[in-house]
Structure formats: C-alpha cells, structure tokens
C-alpha cells in the first residue's frame, strides 16, 4: 500500500536466513524500491542503520553472495 503513493520506499531486512520477496518485487515500479539486507545488526544496529540511511555515515558494504530470482534454478542447470 505504501508503494501506491508513488514515493520511494526503503525496506530493511533484519533476518538470519532466506526471505521470500516475490510479493514485494511483483510491482512494475521497482525503481522506487530499495532493499537493505542487515542480517542481525546487533545491539547498535538500528542506530547504525538510521545514521546510514539519513546520510550521517557511509559504511555500506557489499553482500558476500549473489541473490538470484526465484525461477533462476528452473532456467539454469544446477549440474
């Protein structure tokens, strides 16, 4: 419902495993969507995320793995 407003949306994922994002990515207007994977950010994680998203710090890293679409294994041989 937030994306229907036409404003940019930032989604923070705080998790320890895989998350299904198909419903989130189903919208055609993906240019207004940012997904930030924070895993388990620890006790000071929320403060660090807030400081980063509002530009007080710039400590963004790169993910150590690649995220493929759900149908990737159907279209590519895993052998």
- Rounded mean pLDDT, 9-35: 79
**Does residue 67 contact residue 17 with C-beta atoms inside 8 Å?**
no
Averaged pLDDT score across all residues of the chain: 80
The token pair at 22 is 């198909």
Q: Is the pLDDT of residue 32 over 80?
A: no
pLDDT the model gives residue 63: 67
CA distances in angstroms from 39 to 6, 25, 27, 43, 78, listed in the order given: 27, 19, 24, 12, 26
For residues 16 and 3, which has the higher predicted lDDT (pLDDT)? 16
Quickly state the pLDDT bin for 29 (edges 50, 70, 90): low
pLDDT the model gives residue 55: 86
Q: Is the pLDDT of residue 65 over 80?
A: no
| Strand 33-37 with 9-13, pairing | parallel
């Amino acid at each position: 419902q937030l994306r229907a407003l036409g404003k940019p949306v930032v989604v923070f994922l705080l998790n320890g495993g895989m998350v299904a994002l198909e419903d989130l990515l189903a919208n055609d207007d993906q240019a207004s969507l940012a997904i930030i994977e924070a895993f388990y950010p620890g006790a000071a994680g929320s403060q660090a995320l807030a400081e980063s998203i509002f530009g007080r710090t710039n400590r963004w890293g790169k993910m150590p793995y690649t995220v493929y679409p759900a149908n990737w294994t159907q279209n590519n041989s895993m052998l």
